[in-house]
């Protein structure tokens, strides 16, 4: 920054520091008398540990009568009544730049390998408003994700937002890794929210791999961290994706999982006194989801194509978070446990999955082929019980006979090994051959 610019900013600088004192701590909620601050501001709590002073970073999440309610970004050990609370006067900001591509950072933007941030990075706020709806260009170009069932039957556009709905252990992380390695997007931004500590390194080394990591920024907030850190992990990751979008890049954004963000917000809501509503989720949960999910998509500079995983309780696709997210996003992929048990990976249930933009992105021949395969699959599955018990006699229905003949080849088409690299054109041409000739290989 030039000297003249610095001089002009001097009158706007606030040199007054504002302080308060901790009154009490209940669970993860810290209540203090002062300082003067606003919702979302970052504060520093001064504590003494082993005869050394240190500061605990916290955020203002609410007010109660004359008291300020804070939630910490880290553990709250050593906080005592009367600990000094210093207001920063601004919300959380992180440092970001091209130098961080290929690295793993935490919710506060710090490298998790203990290294020092490079110099010359830009400061960006983690909480930003979604783009103006009238400035969002329409999505008219498809994006290659490198997964045959998606590219052919559930075509995704640049800037589209898709939910991946599944129970635990059905292959969400593996599917995200396949997309990150095979997509032709300019950069990947991957948020691992509420993951087990063991799974983070496994995802980076096994699912993502060196090839995927070298064009990715990974933001991680594990399940053992405070609720506010998990929420901030989602907002920080979205801010990173927005940073690269504003540079004109086509960003692939993946979050695993938005359900754990909702659970973390529920913890914060209950701590500040919100009444529990649907299945214990507080009203703020349903307010924060559209605010977070609408930030991705297109703007006048670039695009963010987003995949959000949703962990459904007991494979119930209509539970509150799944139902809310499905209504916000531009499509959904349903991973079916029954298909996974049969060895079909990725276990995408084509008939239950929808891409709301496919009709606008696919050519006529492509759409006709996809509709035919869906129809054949539907006919077979509707008659599957009769076929399996031997109650159906061949020749009774021409449509069912054709579906029985096609079914093994359709299942073979829908399967893909995790290390297979398939282009979008290859996937579409294979689908057209399958629909026309009955053989896609």
Residues 71-83: tens digit of each pLDDT: 999 888 888 899 9
Give percent above pLDDT 70 in the chain.
97
- Predicted pLDDT at 4: 63
Write out the H or E segment, with its range, that includes residue 262. Answer: helix 258-271
Boundaries of CATH 2.40.10.170 in the chain?
17-91
Q: How many residues does the chain have?
A: 441
> Strands, DSSP E only, in 204-330?
216-222, 250-256, 297-298, 303-311
Burial of 127 (0-12, 13-18, 19+ CB in 10 A): middle
**CA atoms of 338 and 336, how far apart (whole Å):** 5
Q: Which of 372-376's residues contact partners 24+ apart within 8 Å by CB, and which partners?
A: 372/435, 373/153, 373/410, 373/413, 373/431, 373/434, 373/435, 374/153, 374/350, 376/402, 376/403, 376/406, 376/407, 376/410
Where do you find CATH 1.20.1270.330 in the chain? 365-437
How would you write 153-191 as a 3-class SS string?
HCCEECCCEEEEEECCCCCHHHHHHHHHHHCCCCEEEEE
Backbone angles phi, psi at 219, to 5 degrees: -115, 125
**CATH code for 365-437?**
1.20.1270.330
- Supply the pTM of this predicted model: 0.91
pLDDT of residue 14: 59
Domain 17-91 matching CATH 3.40.50.300: the answer reads: no
Please, which residues have CB within 8 angstroms of residue 400's CB and are 6 or more apart in sequence? 379, 380, 383, 387, 392
The pLDDT assigned to 290 comes to: 95
DSSP state of 248: T
433 token code pair: 């051959």
Predicted confidence band of residue 34 (pLDDT cuts 50, 70, 90): confident
Mean pLDDT, range 84-113, rounded to an integer? 94
For 321-378, the pLDDT digits (tens) are 999 999 999 999 999 999 999 999 999 999 999 999 999 999 999 999 999 999 999 9
Average pLDDT (397-419) is: 94
Residue in the block written with tokens 């983690």: 126
Model confidence pLDDT, tens digit, residues 267-309: 999 988 899 988 889 999 999 999 999 999 999 999 999 999 9
pLDDT at residue 427 is higher than 70:
yes
Please, which pLDDT band fits residue 313 given cuts at 50, 70 and 90?
A: confident
For the chain, first and last CA: distance in Å?
59
Q: Is 328 exposed, middle or buried (0-12, 13-18, 19+ CB in 10 A)?
A: middle
Instruction: Specify whether the CB–CB gap between 226 and 73 falls below 8 A.
Output: yes
Give DSSP secondary structure letters for 82-151. Answer: T-EEEEEEEE-EEEE-GGGTT-EE-TTS-BTTSPPPPTTPEEEES--PPPPGGGS----SEE--S-HHHH
Predicted local confidence at residue 317, as pLDDT: 81
Residues of the chain above pLDDT 90, percent: 74
> What does the pLDDT look like over 35-65, one tens digit per residue?
999 999 999 999 987 778 889 999 999 898 8
> Is the CATH number 3.40.50.12240 carried by domain 94-360?
yes
pLDDT above 60 (res 1): no
What is the mean predicted confidence (pLDDT) over 121-146? Answer: 94
Tokens for 154, please give them: 């559930």
Geometric angle at alpha carbon 374, from 373 and 379, rounded to 5°:
100
Q: Is the pLDDT reported for residue 6 higher than 70? A: no
- CATH 3.40.50.12240 positions along the chain are 94-360
Range of weakest confidence among 1-5, 124-128, 129-133: 1-5
- How high is the pLDDT of residue 5? 62
């Amino acid at each position: 920054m030039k000297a003249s610019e610095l001089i002009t900013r001097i009158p706007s600088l606030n040199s007054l520091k504002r302080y308060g004192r901790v009154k009490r701590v209940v669970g993860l909620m810290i209540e203090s008398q002062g300082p003067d601050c606003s919702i979302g501001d970052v504060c520093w709590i001064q504590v003494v540990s082993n005869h050394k002073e240190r500061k605990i970073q916290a955020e203002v999440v609410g007010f109660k009568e004359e008291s300020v309610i804070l939630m910490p970004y880290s553990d709250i050990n050593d906080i005592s009544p009367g600990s000094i609370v210093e207001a920063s006067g601004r919300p959380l900001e992180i440092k970001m730049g091209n130098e961080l591509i290929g690295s793993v950072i935490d919710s506060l933007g710090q490298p998790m390998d203990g290294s020092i941030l490079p110099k010359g990075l830009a400061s960006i706020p983690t909480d930003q408003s979604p783009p103006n709806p009238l400035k969002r260009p329409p999505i008219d170009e498809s994006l290659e994700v490198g997964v045959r069932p998606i590219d052919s039957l559930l075509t995704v556009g640049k800037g589209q937002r898709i939910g991946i709905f599944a129970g635990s252990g059905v292959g969400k992380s593996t599917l995200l890794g396949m997309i990150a390695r095979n997509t032709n997007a300019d950069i990947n931004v991957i948020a691992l929210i509420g993951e087990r500590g063991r799974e983070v390194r496994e995802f980076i080394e096994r699912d993502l791999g060196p090839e995927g990591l070298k064009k990715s920024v990974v933001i991680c907030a594990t399940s053992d961290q405070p609720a506010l850190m998990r929420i901030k992990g989602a907002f920080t990751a979205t801010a990173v994706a927005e940073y690269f979008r504003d540079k004109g890049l086509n960003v692939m954004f993946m979050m695993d999982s938005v359900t754990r963000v909702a659970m973390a917000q529920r913890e914060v809501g209950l701590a500040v006194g919100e009444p529990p509503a649907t299945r214990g989720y507080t009203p703020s949960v349903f307010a924060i989801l559209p605010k977070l999910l609408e930030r991705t998509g297109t703007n006048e500079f670039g695009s963010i194509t987003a995949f959000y995983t949703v962990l459904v309780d007991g494979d119930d696709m209509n539970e509150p978070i799944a139902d809310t997210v499905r209504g916000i996003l531009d499509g959904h992929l349903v991973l079916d446990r029954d298909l996974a048990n049969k060895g079909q990976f990725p276990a995408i249930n084509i008939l239950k999955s929808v891409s709301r933009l496919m009709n606008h992105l696919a050519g006529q021949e492509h759409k006709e082929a996809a509709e035919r395969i869906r129809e054949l699959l539907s006919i077979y599955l509707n008659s599957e019980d009769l076929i399996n018990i031997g109650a159906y006699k061949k020749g009774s229905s021409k449509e069912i006979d054709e579906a029985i003949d096609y079914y093994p080849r359709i299942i073979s088409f829908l399967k893909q090994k995790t290390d297979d690299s398939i282009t979008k054109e290859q996937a579409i041409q294979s689908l057209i051959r399958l629909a026309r000739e009955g053989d896609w290989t």
